[in-house]
Amino acid sequence: MKWITRERPKIDRLACPWLIKRFIDAQAEIIYAPDKEVQSQAQTLGAIPFDMPDVEFSHYEDRCTFDYFLQKYDLKDPALQTMALVIRGADTDDHNLSSQSAGLWAISAGLAFNIKNDYELLEKGMVIYDALYSWAKYLQQEKHTTSPTENLLLQVFQQYLAQEKENNKKVPDWAIHLKEIIQDQIDTNLTLNLSQISEGLNVHPAYLSRQFSKYFDNLTFGEYIRKLRIDKAIHLLHHTHHSLSEIAYLTGFSDQSHFTRIFKKHTGQNPSDYKKNVNKGKKNTKG
C-alpha cells in the first residue's frame, strides 16, 4: 500500500506514517511530494493521499489526520488515544489540550529545521513516535522527581482512569474521571491539587481550569470542592454525633472558624444553629 502527502513534514505527516507502519501496514510505502504534485502523483502511483485538503484522510472539525486514522481503522489502544491528544494539540497549536503538546511541537520543528531530507526526517520521526508510544503505554505516571504524597495521589487517580466509563451525555472523559477523583478525595479526606489532577488526567491545567465550570454545575474548581465539602458536612450533621470540630476536620477544612464561615455562606446558617434545628426535628419526629 502506498501513501502520499506534502513534503516537509512536522507533526501529522510524521505521526500518521508512524501509525500506518506500526499498526496498519508494516510494508507501507510513504511518499512525500511538492504540494501541487500530490494529487497527480497519487493517481500515477496508485497512492492514497493524506493530510491534504479535499481528501478522505484529513482534518475534520477540531480533529487532525491522526485522529481520523484511529477512527477509520478502529484503533482503540488507550496509548494511541493518549498520543492522539498530544498530537492534536501540537498539530493545531492548541497546547492546552495536553501538557506534552508544546514539547512535541518544539522537538518536531527543531527536527525539521536540522534535517532537510524528508525520508531521513521520517526515519528519525519513527524513533520519536516509538518513544512517545512507550511513554503513553507504560510511563505516564513516571516523574523525574516524585514525592510519596504525589505517588499516593497519582495512584488514586490511576485507579479511576483505568476504569471503563460509559459516556451517554457527550461529557468529556476527563470531566467524568475528574468528578470521580474529586468525590473519592472528599470521601478519603485527601488534599486536592488541580495541577496534580491535571497530570493524572493528561489535560493541561490551564485548559482544565478554564473548561471546568461547563461540566460542574457552572462552578469553579474551588467552588465545586467547597460545595461538596458542605454537602458532606450536612450529611454528617444529620446522621452522626460528631462535634463541629470533628466535622470540620472530616470535610477537609483547616479549622472550625473556616468551616463555619463557608458553611454559613452556602446555607445561610451557622453550623451550630443548623445542628440545633436538626436535633429539634429529630425530637419532634420521635414525639
pLDDT at position 52: 93
Average pLDDT for residues 208-215, to the nearest whole number?
80
Does residue 152 surpass a pLDDT of 60?
Answer: no
Cα end-to-end span (Å), the chain:
83
List the single range of 3-12, 92-101, 165-174, 252-261 with lowest mean pLDDT.
165-174
pLDDT at position 26: 95
Amino acid at 58: S
Question: Average pLDDT over the chain, rounded to whole?
Answer: 83
Asked whether the CA dihedral 55, 42, 72, 68 is positive or negative, the reply is: negative
Does residue 199 surpass a pLDDT of 80?
Answer: no
pLDDT tens, position by position, 67-99: 999 999 999 999 999 999 999 999 998 888 888
List the single range of 85-99, 103-117, 184-198, 233-247 with lowest mean pLDDT.
184-198
Of residues 57 and 259, more confidence is placed in: 57
Cell of 241: 454525633
Does residue 153 surpass a pLDDT of 80?
Answer: no
d(CA 150, CA 145): 10
Instruction: Name the band, by pLDDT with cuts 50, 70 and 90, for residue 166.
Output: very low
Does residue 283 surpass a pLDDT of 90?
Answer: no
pLDDT at position 149: 45
In sequence order, what are the residues at sequence separation of 6 or more whose Cβ sits closer than 8 angstroms to the Cβ of residue 177?
Answer: 157, 160, 161, 165, 201
Question: Which one, of 176, 85, 211, 210, lies nearest residue 136 by Cα?
Answer: 85
Of residues 59 and 139, more confidence is placed in: 59
CA 250 from centre of chain: 29
pLDDT tens, position by position, 106-122: 999 999 999 999 999 99
d(CA 137, CA 216): 29
Q: What is the pTM (predicted TM-score) of this model?
A: 0.55
Does residue 135 surpass a pLDDT of 60?
Answer: yes
Degrees to nearest 5, angle at CA 41 with 39 and 45: 125
Torsional class of 130: left (φ above 0), alpha (ψ -120 to 50), beta (otherwise): alpha
**DSSP E strands, the chain:** 2-6, 29-33, 48-49
In sequence order, what are the residues at sequence separation of 6 or more whose Cβ sits closer than 8 angstroms to the Cβ of residue 257?
Answer: none
Average pLDDT for residues 48-56, to the nearest whole number?
95
pLDDT at position 24: 96
